[in-house]
C-alpha cells in the first residue's frame, strides 16, 4: 500500500473561512431578514476591464481558426508578447527585468506553493506572522522547519529581521495580506542585507503592489539594491486587474540568482524552477494570456487603475471611520486591507460575533492568520461603495460614544 506524505496529517485544518461561513449561515437561519454586508473575503467585485475582455475574445476567436490556432506553448513559460508586456510594466516604475526572467503562471498561489519543490526539506523557513496561510502550509507539507518573525502593534505590523536568527528561505509580502502594512525602501533593504548575510533567498509576494500610492514604498523588491542576488518575486493580476477568476500571474527569478549544491556546483535557481515547471506545468491558456497582455496596454492600465481607485476610495472611507472611532489600524493606504485592533479588548472571534450580531457586518478574525493576529480584525475595501459606507455607518452606530 502506498504510504502517504505524513506531513499532511500535521497540518492544521484551516477552518477560518469555513467557520466564518458556518457562523454567518447560522445567523441568517435565525434572522432571515438580516441585511448582511460582507467585508471578509479578499476577492474583488468589479468586472474585468472592457479592453481586457475584448482581448480574451479575440484570443478565443484565433483558437477557432486553423491559421491562428495555438496548441502547446513551446516553453510553458508564457508567450513572448506577455513576458515583454510584464517587463515593460516593471520598466514603467523604474525596474529593469528582462522578459526571459519572467515566467507566466495561473496565479501567484500556484507558484508560491510550488516554488519550494526545488529546495531541500532541511531548510529553515522564516515567515512573518500573521501571514497568508499558503506560505506556512506549503512548507509544512514538506516537513520544513518554519520560524516566525513577529509583526505586531509595536512595529506597525512590519516585522523586521533579527540578526540572531538564521533562515534559508524568507517569505515577505508587501503590501501585506492581512495587515495592509507596506515596507518602505529602508525596511526592504534591511531584509535584503539580512538575506545576503545569511545567504538566504527571499520569496517576495508583490500581489498588492498596484495599491501603492505613497513615495518611498517600492512596488517591487527589485527596486531595491541587492535584491537580484537574493530574491524571487511573485505577482498576480488578481488584485491588479480583477483576475481572481481569470487566473494569471508571473514570477521573476533574476538570471544571477544561484545556489550551491552539495557537490559544490553553482545551480541557477531559474533553471531549477524551469525544470520543475517543465515536468509539472504546461503554460497558461492562450486567450487568458491575451487578456493579461491587454492589462498592460495604455488603455488597460487606465481602465484597471479606475477599479483600483474605486477600491482605494473604499479603503479611505473605512480608514476614516476607524479614525473617527479612535480604533487603531494598519493599512487602508497602499493596500485594500484595513487591519484593526478589536475595540474594548475583544478577541478576534468575539469581535466577529459582535459585528455580525450588532451590525450585520462580516469581517475576518485576525487570529486566523497567525498568533499575532489575535485581537485584530481584517476588513476589505473590495466591496461596493454604498455598502461600504453603510457598513461604516453601522460600526459608528454600535461603537460610537
Residue 307, judged by CB atoms within 10 A of its CB (0-12, 13-18, 19+), counts as: buried
Joined together, the cell numbers standing for residue 297 give 496596454
Among 281, 299, 389, 390, binds a copy of itself (CB under 8 A): 281
264 sits near a copy of itself (criterion: CB under 8 A): no
Q: Which of 39, 44, 207, 379 binds a copy of itself (CB under 8 A)?
A: 44
DSSP 8-state symbol, 333: S
For residues 321-360, which are near a copy of itself according to CB under 8 A? Answer: none
Instruction: Tell me the window of 64-72, 178-186, 206-214, 365-373 that interacts with a copy of itself (CB under 8 A).
Output: 64-72
Nearest-angstrom CA–CA distance, 32 and 29:
6
Instruction: For residues 80 and 74, give the distance between their C-alpha atoms in angstroms, rounded to a whole number.
Output: 11
Q: How far is the CB of 353 from a copy of itself (least distance, A)?
A: 23
Residue 346 CB, nearest approach to a copy of itself (Å): 28
Applying CB under 8 A, the span of 45-53, 95-103, 326-334, 389-397 interacting with a copy of itself comes to 45-53
Cα(206)–Cα(304) distance, integer angstroms: 17
Of 142 and 184, which has the nearer Cβ to a copy of itself? 142
Residue 49 DSSP one-character state: P
What are the two backbone dihedrals, phi and then psi, of residue 61, each rounded to the nearest 5 degrees? -60, -40
Query: By C-beta, is 52 or 206 nearer to a copy of itself?
Result: 52
Please state, as a whole number, how many other Cβ atoms lie within 10 Å of the Cβ of residue 312: 20
> Under the criterion CB under 8 A, does residue 24 sit at the interface with a copy of itself?
no
Examine residue 178 and tell whether it contacts a copy of itself (CB under 8 A). no
Question: In terms of CB distance, is 134 or 223 closer to a copy of itself?
Answer: 134
Name the segment binding a copy of itself (CB under 8 A); options: 44-52, 206-214, 313-321, 344-352. Answer: 44-52
- Of the candidates 33, 56, 18, 1, which has an alpha carbon nearest to the alpha carbon of residue 241? 56
Within 186-215, the residues that bind a copy of itself by CB under 8 A are 198-201
109 binds a copy of itself (CB under 8 A): yes
Under 8 Å between Cβ of 280 and 114? yes
- Is 379 near a copy of itself (CB under 8 A)? no
Q: Is 246 in the site for a copy of itself (CB under 8 A)?
A: yes
Which residue in the set 28, 276, 316, 341 belongs to the binding site for a copy of itself (CB under 8 A)?
276
300 binds a copy of itself (CB under 8 A): no
Min. distance of Cβ 7 from a copy of itself in angstroms?
A: 9
Q: Minimum distance between the CB of residue 11 and a copy of itself, rounded to whole angstroms?
A: 7
Q: How far apart are CA 75 and CA 359, in angstroms?
A: 52
Under rule CB under 8 A, residue 82 binds a copy of itself = no
> How far is Cα 99 from Cα 81, in angstroms, rounded to an integer?
9
Residue (184 or 268) nearer to a copy of itself, CB: 268
Environment class of 300 (CB within 10 Å of its CB; exposed 0-12, middle 13-18, buried 19+): buried
- Considering Cα of 366, then 370, then 373, then 378, what sign does the dihedral take? negative
- Residues that contact a copy of itself, how many (by CB under 8 A): 86
- Per DSSP, the residues of 26-47 read HHHHH-TT---EE--S----SP
What's the gap between Cα 233 and its chain centre?
Answer: 11
Minimum CB–partner distance for residue 251 and a copy of itself (Å): 14
| CB hemisphere CA count around 191 (13 angstroms) | 30
Identified binder of a copy of itself from the candidate list 119, 191, 194, 311, rule CB under 8 A? 119
Contact residue for a copy of itself among 72, 298, 344, 401 (CB under 8 A): 72
- How many other CB atoms are there within 10 angstroms of residue 216's CB atom? 10
Query: Of residues 19, 36, 43, 299, which one binds a copy of itself by CB under 8 A?
Result: 43
Amino acid at each position: 500500500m502506498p504510504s502517504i506524505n505524513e506531513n499532511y496529517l500535521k497540518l492544521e485544518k484551516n477552518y477560518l473561512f469555513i467557520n466564518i461561513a458556518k457562523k454567518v449561515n447560522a445567523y441568517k437561519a435565525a434572522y432571515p431578514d438580516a441585511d448582511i454586508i460582507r467585508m471578509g473575503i479578499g476577492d474583488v467585485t468589479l468586472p474585468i476591464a472592457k479592453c481586457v475582455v475584448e482581448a480574451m475574445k479575440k484570443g478565443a476567436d484565433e483558437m477557432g481558426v486553423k491559421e491562428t490556432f495555438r496548441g502547446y506553448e513551446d516553453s510553458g513559460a508564457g508567450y513572448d508578447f506577455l513576458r515583454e508586456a510584464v517587463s515593460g510594466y516593471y520598466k514603467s516604475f523604474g525596474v529593469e527585468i528582462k522578459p526571459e526572467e519572467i515566467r507566466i503562471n495561473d496565479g501567484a498561489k500556484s507558484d508560491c506553493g510550488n516554488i519550494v519543490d526545488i529546495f531541500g526539506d532541511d531548510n529553515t523557513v522564516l515567515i512573518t506572522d500573521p501571514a497568508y496561510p499558503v506560505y506556512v502550509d506549503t512548507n509544512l507539507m514538506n516537513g520544513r522547519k518554519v520560524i516566525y518573525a513577529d509583526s505586531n502593534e509595536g512595529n506597525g505590523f512590519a516585522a523586521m529581521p533579527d540578526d540572531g536568527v538564521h533562515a534559508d528561505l524568507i517569505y515577505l509580502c508587501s503590501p501585506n495580506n492581512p495587515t495592509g502594512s507596506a515596507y518602505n525602501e529602508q525596511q526592504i533593504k534591511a531584509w535584503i542585507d539580512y538575506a545576503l548575510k545569511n545567504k538566504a533567498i527571499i520569496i517576495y509576494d508583490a500581489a498588492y503592489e498596484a495599491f501603492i500610492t505613497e513615495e518611498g514604498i517600492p512596488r517591487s523588491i527589485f527596486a531595491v539594491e541587492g535584491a537580484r542576488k537574493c530574491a524571487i518575486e511573485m505577482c498576480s493580476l488578481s488584485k491588479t486587474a480583477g483576475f481572481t477568476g481569470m487566473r494569471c500571474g508571473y514570477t521573476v527569478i533574476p538570471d544571477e540568482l544561484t545556489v550551491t549544491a552539495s557537490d559544490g556546483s553553482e545551480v541557477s535557481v531559474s533553471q531549477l524552477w524551469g525544470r520543475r515547471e517543465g515536468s509539472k506545468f504546461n503554460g497558461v491558456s492562450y486567450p487568458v494570456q491575451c487578456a493579461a497582455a491587454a492589462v498592460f496596454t495604455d488603455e488597460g492600465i487606465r481602465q484597471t487603475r479606475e477599479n483600483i481607485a474605486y477600491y482605494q476610495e473604499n479603503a479611505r472611507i473605512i480608514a476614516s471611520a476607524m479614525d473617527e472611532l479612535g480604533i487603531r489600524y494598519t493599512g487602508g493606504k497602499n493596500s485594500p486591507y484595513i487591519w484593526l485592533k478589536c475595540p474594548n479588548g475583544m478577541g478576534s472571534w468575539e469581535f466577529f460575533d459582535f459585528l455580525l450580531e450588532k451590525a450585520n457586518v462580516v469581517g475576518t478574525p485576525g487570529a486566523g492568520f497567525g498568533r499575532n493576529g489575535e485581537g485584530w480584525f481584517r476588513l476589505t475595501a473590495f466591496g461596493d461603495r454604498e455598502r461600504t459606507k453603510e457598513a461604516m455607518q453601522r460600526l459608528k452606530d454600535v461603537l460610537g460614544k
